[in-house]
Structure 1
Amino acid sequence: MSLANVIVVGNEKGGAGKSTIAIHLVTGLLHAGARVSLLDLDLRQQSVGHFFAHRRAWLAAAGATAPMPVEHGLGSEGRTLAQAADEEVLARFEESFGKSREGADFLVIDTPGGDTAVSRSAHGRADLIVTPMNDSFVDFDMLGLVDPVTLDLKRPSLYSETVWNSRKTRAAADGQSIDWVVLRNRLAPTEARNRRRLDERVQALSRRVGFRVGPGLRDRVIYRELFPFGLTVADLSPGIRPVAMSLQHVAARQELRALMGALGLPGAEGGEAIAAQ
């Protein structure tokens, strides 16, 4: 039986948009016809798990259909498990990870905003690590440290070291490499004053530690509007339209397609059909 390609959405800084990226990757892959498994390792907040619970409820109430991933939780305890010892959480993860890869094309893992043993274990199993980063030196601080006077890049920071160690773990385990993509996420509609300076440091760090830079999702109202329904712009159709459509929704769909394309994932095609709906 073939095993799923593992996509880990990670960043040790909270509020970078990991869960938003994860749910859009899942729905984008589903609408591309892929079989998708899902693991939500943010045991305390469980935003991705809540999103798909909302999705089931809204679809049932609306009498509509949309593709769903196969969810593999770490147990029914939810937030109680978040207080458990690392050994217990890791054991649950090992069991769920093995099951979730079977019979799927992709396994998407959402990780918590912090350094945990289970998050490190997931990173070491990844084929692709996707790291959203807000357009700010505050977020960049988790990836690289800059000189406070010259703003020159000094060295990689905490999360870059986590990914570096994960790559070594994966290479030692099975000789495979991990692709790493940093997404410039939640860009404001207007050009930020410090964006060029930040771009230069991101590019410099990418050459130093070996990641690709891709487009994320802009800070659009539509992403927030659709979340409580458990829907994304990939789901919108004549039969699924919980909010009024606008040209901004078309732009958001094109943005999602660009994201999927930058990651080399199915779902980057079909722009004309999307725009026509």
Structure 2
Amino acid sequence: MAAPHRIVFANEKGGTGKSTTAVHVAVALAYQGARVAALDLDTRQKTFFRYCENRAETQRRRNVELPGPVFDICHGDSIEMLEEEAARIGEGADFLLFDTPGRDDPFARHVAASADTLVTPMNDSFVDFDLIGHVDAETFKVRKLSFYAELIWEARIKRSRAQLEQQKREMDWVVVRNRTGFTDARNQRRIDQALTELSKRVGFRVSQGLSERVIYRELFPSGLTLLDKGHLGELGTSHLVARQEVRSLVANLRLPMPPSRDETSRTATRPVAEMA
């Protein structure tokens, strides 16, 4: 059986909407009939893990089935143990998601370098842009790559060299722009230009992500997502727009979907302990 497609959500800066984006992508894939597994590498915050725990509890409390990932938190203390956990939880899955800490972390570096699809959410500010590139203070032109961008660039080169020999997939790096609604027009143009320039040098793609909407934070206690029609009550126009944001983002990731399965094949969100 082919290994699952690895989707890694990584950004060494916190507060970029990384876990929220990861949860919505995982649920969107499950709704499309994919078998999804997820491993949360942030053993301090555990945001992705807690979101899924809340979702599983809502299933039990309401006696409903909510499509989503089989999930767990990383328990290993070495790269070898991490890979063993990934192989265990990802067995039989179409997609294996990793949510990583918002800090420099050896496990995060490892899974980022081994990603098939690397998703880097960022807020529309030069504070966040500094993670991938440094700009001139006067012209806002990109002066050089950041350490993180160089790390991913080197990983992609190694993957390309090994692609034919080991039949590895080429890495697709997608920078996702979250919270664009709070960026003034002039600053947004400067970020547009800097991202366009850097994307040509490094080879990532840019996608619009999730705007700053209260609904994303309000859904966390229930573990619900904007894709859970029939479980959210009456939605306003802004909520419907936010749902379309999620759908557009998932489409822009261009993930290799498995052959269509019927409705009964969907996997409900559940902890890895319930897999047996």
TM over 0.5: yes
Letter matched to residue 124 of structure 2: D
* Aligned residue number for residue 28 of structure 2: 28
Q: Is 1:261 matched up with 2:251?
A: yes
2-side partners of 1:249 and 1:108: how far apart?
25
Matches within 5 A, 1:137-152: 137-152=126-141
- The letter of the residue matching 1:112 is P
**AA in 2 matched with 1:106:** F
For the residues of structure 2 that align with 1:17 and 1:68, how far apart are their CA atoms?
Answer: 19
- Whether the aligned pair in 2 keeps the contact of 1:170 and 1:177 (CA below 8 Å) is yes
Aligned partners of 2:144 and 2:243: how far apart in 1? 36
Matched, 1:46 2:16: no
Amino acid at match of 1:163: I
Task: Give the C-alpha shift of residue 190 in structure 1.
Answer: 7.0
Q: State the partner residue of 1:109.
A: 98
> What's the counterpart of residue 134 of structure 1?
123
Structure 1, unpaired ranges of 5+: 76-80, 82-87, 267-277
C-alpha contact (below 8 Å) 1:145/1:155 kept by paired residues: yes
Q: Which amino acid aligns with 1:226?
A: L
Letter in 2 for 1:159: Y
Give SS of 1:43's match. coil
The residue type equivalent to 1:161 in the other structure is E
TM-score normalized with structure 2 length: 0.86
Aligned to 1:124: 113
SS of the residue 2:190 aligns to: helix
Does the residue aligned with 1:188 lie in a helix, a strand or coil? helix
Alpha-carbon offset, residue 140 of structure 1: 0.3
Q: Cα deviations across residues 42-95 of structure 1 (Å, max 9, x unaligned)? A: 1111100000111111222222221131124323xxxxx7xxxxxx33232011
Task: Determine the C-alpha separation between the residues in 2 that align with 1:116 and 1:168.
Answer: 21
Contact 1:73 1:96 (C-alpha < 8 Å) held by counterparts: no
Q: Which residue of 2 aligns with 1:271?
A: none
Identity %: 45
After superposition, where does 1:114-263 map in structure 2 within 5 Å? 114-173=103-162, 174=166, 176-188=169-181, 191-237=184-230, 240-241=231-232, 244-263=234-253
RMSD, matched Cα: 1.9
Whether the 8 Å contact between 1:181 and 1:214 is mirrored in structure 2 is yes
Q: What SS does the aligned partner of 1:37 have? A: strand
1:28 CA drift (Å): 0.7
Structure 2 counterpart SS, 1:2: coil
Counterpart position of 2:261? none
Partners of 1:6 and 1:184 lie apart in 2 by 21
Name the structure 1 match of 2:273. none
**Is 1:57 aligned to 2:57, yes or no?**
yes
- The one-letter amino acid paired with 2:103 is G
Contact 2:31 2:68 in 1 (8 A): no
- Alpha-carbon distance, 1:182 to partner: 0.5
Q: 1:169 to 1:44 in 2, by over 3 A?
A: farther
1:120 touches 1:166 (CA, 8 Å); kept in 2?
A: no
Is residue 178–residue 211 contact of structure 2 (8 Å, CA) maintained in 1?
A: yes
Deviation at 1:118, TM superposition (A): 0.8
Amino acid at match of 1:230: G
Gaps of 5+ in 2: 258-276
Displacement of 1:236: 2.7
The one-letter amino acid of 1:120's match is R
Aligned to 1:69: 69
SS at match of 2:181: coil
| AA aligned opposite 1:232 | T
Structure 2 counterpart of 1:252, one-letter code: A
Q: Take 1:96 and 1:143, find their aligned partners in 2: how far apart are those partners?
A: 29
Secondary structure of the 2:180 match is: coil
- Comparing 90-99 with 253-262, greater Cα deviation is found at 90-99
Superposition deviation, residue 191 in structure 1: 4.7
8 Å contact from structure 1 (residues 7, 107) kept in 2? yes
Q: CA deviation at 1:101?
A: 2.9
Measure, in 2, the Cα distance between the counterparts of 1:182 and 1:57.
Answer: 32
State the alpha-carbon separation in 2 of the partners of residues 137 and 63 from structure 1: 45
